Structure 1
Amino acid sequence: MCQWNRYYNILKNELIYQYRFETAAELDYAVSEFAYDECNQVRPHSYSEYLTPFE
């Protein structure tokens, strides 16, 4: 459960609060891109010895 709370906090702080979305489709696309690109390809995680999930 704690892992999901961290994910949503990061999502809100680094994406939702930083940009303004005009449509639900824009928001949906941004969240999808954030989840795939940022969280899986770029952002290191403490639970994996600071490697990205992709690594």
Structure 2
Amino acid sequence: METKQLADGRVAVRQSADPAGPALIYTPEEITAFVAGVKQGLADHLTGHSAH
């Protein structure tokens, strides 16, 4: 995964294995909420690990 902050403050996220592929564009607020959720363990199920 690669991320890049755009000139208008939004954040582009794309798969690094496919640099010519599409990017998902998020607002700063959406990225903040995503990172907070990851830190809280809300994505642990994606790795096969559980924080609980």
TM range, normalised to the smaller chain?
Answer: 0.3 to 0.5
Q: Larger % of strand: which?
A: 2
Q: Which has the larger radius of gyration?
A: 2
Q: TM-score, normalised to structure 1's length?
A: 0.37
TM-score, normalised relative to structure 2: 0.38
* Bigger fraction of residues in helix: 1
